[in-house]
Amino acid sequence: LAARRAQRPVSPHLAIYKWQIGSVMSSLMRITGVTYAGSFYIFSVAYLASPYVGWDLSSTAIAASIASLPVVAQAALKFVVAWPLALHCINGVRHLTWDTARGFNRRFIHRTGWMVVGATTMVVGYMTIV
C-alpha cells in the first residue's frame, strides 16, 4: 500500500496546474505586503541601532551609496524596489473596489487583474526612467 501511495502524483501537480490571474495577484498582494512590512521593521531597528554599531544610515549616506552605482544598476535597483510597491498600491485600489461589493464576477476579476499588471508596468517604467 505504501508503494502505491508513493507512485501517486501530488495533487494538484504544479506541472499541470493552470495559473489564474486572481490567485497570482492574491499571492503577490500578500507577499509584497509582508515583505514591505518586514523591511520597514528591519530598517527601523537598524536605523535605531546604527549609532551604537557604527553604521551610517542617514539619507545622505544612502543617497551617496546609490549614486556611486552604475546607471544600469541604479535603474535595476529602482525597478526592484518600485515594482512590488506599485503592484501593492494599485492592487490595493482594486481591493478597495471589492469593499463596495462590486466586481465579484469572473470577467471583472480577470480584467482588473490584467489592468493592475499593465498599470504597474507603466508606473514602474516611468519610475525607473525618472
Annotated binding site for heme, which residues?
88
Nine-digit cell string for 117: 499588471
Which one-letter DSSP state was computed for residue 16? T
Nine-digit cell string for 9: 502524483
CA 99: distance to chain centroid?
A: 21
Amino acid code (one letter) for 75: A
Where do we find the cell 500500500? 1
- Annotated binding-site positions: 88
Distance CA 69, CA 56 (A): 18
Residues found in the chain: 130
Say if residues 95 and 29 touch (Cβ distance below 8 Å).
Answer: yes
